[in-house]
Structure 1
């Protein structure tokens, strides 16, 4: 059974295990400190979800309304590397897009991802706005992508 719920501070170890399972292809080790900072601060202020299967955290991700008030930014979404391709990322992404659509005044969803996952997000309608080679770390390009929401 899959359970989606709000992140709690005691979930940090499980979320860091997800991060670690995705190093070095999807995240660089140097990004871990930023994720820890996010979990200590932003994940408690903005909607951040964990997905559990059989009592184990298998996915996490959140969103935040950007300072411009018309964009939602997807934050730190990930699924256990051993569980890729099982639909967990789709469920997590669809839930975050639905939350963006339900937020008054929001017209678009933004995210930063890598060349390894940009195709996954393109299937939801996200389009590349900017590509920065090695933007996250050597060998991990940064893809800034946007999804325009229908009125």
Structure 2
């Protein structure tokens, strides 16, 4: 059984394990401390999601409000051993739905060259690339998606 729910502080260690499973291809090890600090913020219980499968956290990702018109995807990841099973799609769709509920006009994110095509399939277009912007061998690919008003 798969369950999408909001983050609970007790999920932090499971989310850090997901992060670790994606180093070094998708995240640089140097980013772990930033992610750990991010998880400790009191807002995480309202702006961060996890997906559980059989009681185990297997994916997580956030949607941070930037301003009245913009929200940003942040710290999205799926257990490395479970890639290409639809969990990332479910997480992306849930965050898009949350963005619609917030009434934002655009979504942004910064990802790497390894997940650029994944987000392009979800309607994001590249707005800039910074070589090695997330660390050696991990380009910062900045992307944006306009949101249709409902």
Give the TM-score, by structure 1 length.
0.95
Q: Does the 8 Å contact 1:50/1:57 carry over to 2?
A: yes
Distance in 2, Cα, partners of 1:56 & 1:44: 19
What's 1:131 paired with? 129
Q: CA distance change for structure 1 residues 18 and 5 in 2, over 3 Å: closer, same or farther?
A: same
Q: CA RMSD in A?
A: 1.1
Q: Note the C-alpha offset of 1:44.
A: 2.6
Distance in 1, Cα, partners of 2:5 & 2:96: 16
Q: Does the 8 Å contact 1:59/1:89 carry over to 2?
A: yes
What's 1:140 paired with? 138
In the alignment, structure 2 segments of 5+ residues that lack a partner are: none
What's 1:20 paired with? 20
What's 2:59 paired with? 59
Distance in 2, Cα, partners of 1:101 & 1:37: 27
Distance in 2, Cα, partners of 1:12 & 1:131: 30
Runs of 4+ aligned residues of structure 1 deviating over 3 Å after TM superposition are: none
Q: Does the 8 Å contact 2:7/2:45 carry over to 1?
A: no
Distance in 1, Cα, partners of 2:46 & 2:133: 25
What's 1:81 paired with? 80
